[in-house]
Structure 1
Amino acid sequence: MNRLALFAALVTIPASAVIAQHAHHQASDPIAAAVAAPSRTPANIARDQYRHPAETLAFFGVTASGTVVEYSPSGGWYTEILAPLLRDHGTFYALQPTGGYLASYRNFLATKPEVYDKVKLVEYPDALATIPASSVDTVLTFRNVHNMVMAGKEAATFKAFFDMLKPGGTLGVVDHRLPEARDTALEKSSGYVKVSTVRRIAEAAGFEYVGASDVNANPKDTADWPKGVWTLPPSLSQKEVDRDKYLAIGESDRMTLKFRKPVK
């Protein structure tokens, strides 16, 4: 076949074949398929550019057949991905602290029972024993460590993570990053936390540090805003004041850290 004929053959590949190839790629990559799930809401999909869910979950080693705990899923952003990912072959625990988000998260699960019917909602700490010790492959917490630090509950919470994980299991942490040179006191008010602080908390609980990814880094975020991290999207606490400026910066600069429970 000459080059012209080969080119003609390539450009006349039917659209159905392209769609089939795309479907095959998703079938061979369960995380990509879950990120592309039609049950996800458009507003949450729009934030993928800041949260990079496929790359983040892959870095943490999440699989479709694993037992996964997400601590404090709150509005359900990652639940929209983890629930379909784990629904058929895995186990998904949503470990939600008691308080304001518990009722709203339960209502969120009720909106799409065909997707969320197998999510195991566990109240923390009241029903923590529902999750058997040393039974979990992966614990994930997204933008929650700063809340633990502000409330003084980080040691107890990380101990709970450690106890539920299997030996060799993974703890994945994403949070707003405070530059190491800043005053540590800002961790109590700004919503940002230092990498060194997260490592100290995790290692004190018994975890081994595995490594970090820059997938959720944002060099535009200088972490010195009038209302802390809530100045930036999606909160935009300053309302219309410098709104375009903060939208151009985007969501916060985030650490993405991986820890492991040692195998003894």
Structure 2
Amino acid sequence: MKRILIWGLLLFSTPALAQQKEYPSFTRFIDSVFRAVNVKVVDININKGKGKRDTLFAAGGYWARRSLGVVKYYTWIDKRLPKYVDYPDFLGIYNKRFEDTIRGYYHYRYTPHGEIRYGGTGFIAMEAEPTINCNGSSCTYYRYPVIAITNQDTVLQVFEHNFSITGLHYADINHDGHLDFIDIHCGLSDDDINKVIAKDNGVKRELLESSNEIVYKITLYTFRKHKWEQLKDRNGNIYCVIIALAEPLQADGPFKILLANWPG
């Protein structure tokens, strides 16, 4: 098993994170950073019935629509397959369908607090993990569709987290009145690797290039001006934190911050 030596929590270039104490685990650290102050959350009463199924078109099968309460759930039914086989494909809300969420083998449900309200904007948050019949690298991805609801429109953002060591977290990180959502992926780009190496903090390049289950990059997405966008600083650089776990996938264990550019 891959391991990384923990020298203690090293913090770089951001007052907000520099104020953080050394936490016993990465999970505790994330819970502290993403403290959702003044955020109203509501459990959604899910319609557990099958709901009305509408045939949208037929070509070897048909699209069926089922109500999940607020959100509609569109499923492709293939006539060549047994009747009990359904392939969830995309979501919709009100009269709008988000066909860019098409991805088979995912079964969506609301997060524990499915409705989120903050700063005049409402959000519907859902989640789905790969099913047992998935194949290859797709089996590592967990999906978190978040639908922003304003008076003008409904806009979808789908967060895909490989291995999902944090789940969906949100808070107003930069205190600008807009809710920010965590986006986290394991593995680094060549540019990120070079930035970490330039810090000269004792981490070897070989580890950064090969440790897909140890090294993670955290960024933020926010919804403002009726669109989703990656949160950046005044110089146009994205806010991010790069961390290394002590053991692969062990978010409840110790970790080290390798690089950070964070609101503060």
- TM-score by length of structure 2 reads 0.26
Q: Which has the higher contact order (CA 8 A, sep 6+)?
A: 2
Higher helix proportion (structure 1 or 2): 1
Higher strand proportion (structure 1 or 2): 2
- TM-score by length of structure 1 reads 0.26
